Amino acid sequence: REAKGKMPTYKGLENFRLIDKMGDGAFSNVYKAVDIHTGQRVAVKVVRKYELSASQAGDNKHLNKDFKKKPRVTERANILKEVQIMRGINHPAIVKLLSFSESEEHYFLVLELLEGGELFHQIVKLTYFSENLARHVILQVAHGIHHLHEERGVVHRDIKPENLLFERIPIRPSRAPQSKQFEEDKEDEGEFIPGVGGGGIGRVKIADFGLSKVVWDEQTMTPCGTVGYTAPEIVKDERYSKSVDIINVLTEKVARGYYTFLSPWWDGITASAKDLISHLLCVDPAQRYTIDEFLNHPWCKAAPAPPPPPT
């Protein structure tokens, strides 16, 4: 499955052999790579420093051979902030930054490799997550968020399935949701969850600190900036901004709080799960569950159902 097509080479990244492209963003490319000296497998996020300006990217660019490079000033500040924030964090639910370097043209973030890919792809592939599997995933994410909020004073601000990565590729194959096989296989989800049936997806980790922000000084647990000079509404605002990690507002409907537990898909979901979700989807950030309230909800405390008895 590796070495799909020719990998690019980057000046300044000679210590790594690129194996495969894993992510393709507007500003960054993420590669699976090997450290040629240690043999360690890593992920390398390559971020371009410069962008062609909008006019030069237009139709007439062939007329202008002398492309001027425009520094992406905001991006520069962001990537350095992303690195700065990631550097201070050491938690099992957060992707580790192993090293950082830059060349004239690029920034290179060498990251702990998560082979299992995005939660997003697993949702698409499996179509169905049992409550046990969902709990297994979201509890790890919640502990990561708890660490960011309560111990680092960091809000991530971009929690979504594309930025949540699995350690391993699940062993269960994909299948059609309405098939008989699917109904039977729902039972053996145990193999997905480590400690229940072995194998499985392993850990889930939070990636992509590109939009993250420090809101509290981690030593003093006071708002960043000089508190004595900060207006009350700013302090209040920053305190509330933590709640953005609890909800990812995707649409106008969600923003206004319009949602339903649509039948038949939600019929089999426990009342406890629905109660928790409704507390997370509160439009008013002051009413919305904090990460502590989330972790203390009965649904999060529930032990996974035991695997079915052998027949």
212 binds Mg ion, rule: CB under 5 A = no
29 binds Mg ion, rule: CB under 5 A = no
159 binds ligand ADP, rule: CB under 6 A = no
Stretch that binds ligand ADP, among 54-62, 129-137, 205-213, 298-306 (CB under 6 A): 205-213
163 binds Mg ion, rule: CB under 5 A = yes
112 binds ligand ADP, rule: CB under 6 A = yes
Contact letters (x/-) for ligand ADP, 38-77, by CB under 6 A? -----x-x--------------------------------
**Could you tell which of Mg ion, ligand ADP, none binds residue 165, using a CB distance below 5 to 8 A set by kind?**
ligand ADP
Q: How many residues does the chain have?
A: 311
CB of 120 to ligand ADP, least distance (A): 8
Judge residue 78's burial from the number of C-beta atoms within 10 Å of its C-beta, 0-12 exposed, 13-18 middle, 19 or more buried.
middle
User: Which one-letter DSSP state was computed for residue 183?
Assistant: H
Concatenated DSSP letters for 41-90? EEEEEEEESEEE-TTTTSGGGGG--SPPEEE-HHHHHHHHHHHHHHHT--
Bridge-partner residues for 100, per DSSP?
Answer: 109
Q: How far apart are CA 95 and CA 167, in angstroms?
A: 10
110 binds ligand ADP, rule: CB under 6 A = no
CB of 35 to ligand ADP, least distance (A): 14
210 binds ligand ADP, rule: CB under 6 A = yes
CB of 176 to Mg ion, least distance (A): 29
CB of 49 to ligand ADP, least distance (A): 15
**Could you tell which of Mg ion, ligand ADP, none binds residue 113, using a CB distance below 5 to 8 A set by kind?**
ligand ADP
Tokens of 172: 């269960």
CB of 195 to Mg ion, least distance (A): 29
35 binds ligand ADP, rule: CB under 6 A = no
- Would you call 28 helix, strand, or coil by DSSP? strand
**Per-residue 3-state assignment (H helix, E strand, C coil) for 219-286:** CCCEECCCHHHCCHHHHHHHHHHHHHHHCCCCCHHHHHCCCCCCCCCCCCCCHHHHHHHHHHCCCCCC
* 158 catalytic residue (yes or no): yes
28 binds ligand ADP, rule: CB under 6 A = yes
161 binds ligand ADP, rule: CB under 6 A = no
193 binds ligand ADP, rule: CB under 6 A = no
Q: How far apart are CA 149 and CA 72, in angstroms?
A: 29
Give how many residues touch Mg ion by CB under 5 A: 2
189 binds Mg ion, rule: CB under 5 A = no
- Which conformational region is residue 218 in: left (phi greater than 0), alpha (psi within -120 to 50 degrees), or beta? alpha
Tokens of 65: 């051979």
Q: How far apart are CA 98 and CA 71, in angstroms?
A: 26
208 binds Mg ion, rule: CB under 5 A = yes
**Cα 124 to Cα 113, 121, 127, 190, 197, distances in angstroms:** 22, 5, 5, 20, 23
Which candidate in 35, 158, 245, 275 is catalytic? 158
Tokens of 310: 């052998």
165 binds ligand ADP, rule: CB under 6 A = yes
Binding residues for Mg ion, per CB under 5 A?
Answer: 163, 208
Binding residues for ligand ADP, per CB under 6 A?
Answer: 22-23, 25, 28, 30, 43, 45, 95, 111-114, 118, 162-163, 165, 207-208, 210
Active site residues: 158
